[in-house]
Amino acid sequence: MPVTLRLPAVLAKAAGGKTVHEARGATVGEVVGDVAGRFPELGPRLRDAKGEPYPYVIFYLDDEDIRFQQGFATPVPDGAEIVVVPAIAGG
C-alpha cells in the first residue's frame, strides 16, 4: 500500500502543482526520494546536498516529528501520511 506525502502549498509549484502525492518507500527518506525523483525542482527544497533534512523543513510521520525517531531512516508503515512543514515567518 502506498503512503501519502503532503506538501505545503508553497512547495506545490515545484511538485507539478499538487500538494498531495502518493509514494512508495520503506523509510521516510525513501518516500521523499521517490517524490523528489519525479520532480527535480522539489528535491533541493526538501533535503540538502548530502540528502539530509534541513533544520527549517520538518517532517511529521503520522503527526510525529521524525527527528525524535530515526530521521530519514524512520520506517514507514503502510498507508502512513508524511506531512512536510517548512518554517514560515509572515505576520
User: Footprint of other proteins on this chain (CB under 8 A)?
Assistant: 8-10, 19, 54-56, 58, 60, 63-65, 67-68, 83, 85-91
Q: How far is the CB of 4 from other proteins (least distance, A)?
A: 13
Separation between Cα atoms, residue 10 and residue 18, nearest integer Å: 10
Residue 24 or 62: which CB sits closer to other proteins? Answer: 62
Residue 55 or 78: which CB sits closer to other proteins? Answer: 55
Q: How far is the CB of 88 from other proteins (least distance, A)?
A: 4
The alpha carbon of residue 80 and the mean position of all alpha carbons in its chain are separated, in whole angstroms, by 12
Residue 50 or 56: which CB sits closer to other proteins? Answer: 56
